[in-house]
Amino acid sequence: MAVEQAQILRPETLVNQFKENGVTHVLTIPDSETNYLYELMEQQDWLDIVPVAREGETFGIALGLNVAGKTPVCLIQNTGMLESGDSLRGMALDAGFPLVMIVGYRGWTRRGIISDSAARYTEPFLHAFGINYYLVEYDADGDRITTAFEEARATKRPVAILIGDEYHGWNR
């Protein structure tokens, strides 16, 4: 049990990764799994939180912030990513700028059957859009976020981080 607890993805890891990679704005809709992360982000004076009404907005806002020389991150759930297809296409992929999107992998599990269709369609959706992604499940996976930023900067494309720790780390 102690080992499992140490492995759990901590919100501090996400925030540290954001800081190391020069993130200026987080564009987000809070969900039930990210409450503590939201509170932690709000405490950072170097970070501007932009709450949106629908996930598709995040890609348009990200484009505007990128033109202004800022470094935004989209922090959304996979359900919202599925809804955002045309915004992701027209405002991020076609515009061709570095963007890391942190996507809550609702319904995903490494063990057993995935019964939530939101999880079943998440990776096929990213494949269809040609968006590379990295799974972040445990705290030790945090460096993959920096990998995603490096890849986004090199390719001037969106890169996704799938947060596969739905039930543990962020809402404590």
Partner 1 sequence: MIESKDVFEAFAPYRGDAIVITTGTAGRPWVDISDRPRRDVSLGGAMGQTTSAAFGLALGLPDEKVILFDAEGALLMNLGVLATIAGKKPQNFYHFLLDNECYATTGGQPVPNSSEIDYGRLAGSAGYASNYNFDDLEDFRISVGEILNEDGPVFVAVKVVPEIENLPMGMRERRPGRSRPQMIADLRDELGIAAD
- Please identify, using beta-carbon distances, which residue of 1 and 53 lies nearer to partner 1: 53
**How near is the Cβ of 108 to partner 1 at its closest, in Å?**
27
| 3-state DSSP assignment of residue 28 | strand
Paired sense of beta strands 72-77 and 133-136, if any: unpaired
- Establish if 70 lies at the interface with partner 1 (CB under 8 A): yes
Q: Binders of partner 1 among 46-65, rule CB under 8 A? A: 48, 50-54, 56-65
Contact assessment for residue 152 and residue 96, using Cβ atoms and an 8 Å cutoff? no
In the chain, DSSP finds a helix count (H) and a strand count (E) of 8, 6
- Establish if 140 lies at the interface with partner 1 (CB under 8 A): no
Question: Which bin fits 138, alpha (ψ -120 to 50), beta or left (φ > 0)?
Answer: beta
- Could you say which of 23, 87, 108, 122 contacts partner 1 (CB under 8 A)? 87
Name the segment binding partner 1 (CB under 8 A); options: 6-14, 31-39, 89-97, 114-122: 89-97
Question: CB count, 10 Å around CB of 159?
Answer: 23
- Establish if 131 lies at the interface with partner 1 (CB under 8 A): no
Summarize as ranges the residues that interact with partner 1 (CB under 8 A).
24-25, 48, 50-54, 56-70, 72, 86-87, 89-91, 94-98, 153, 156
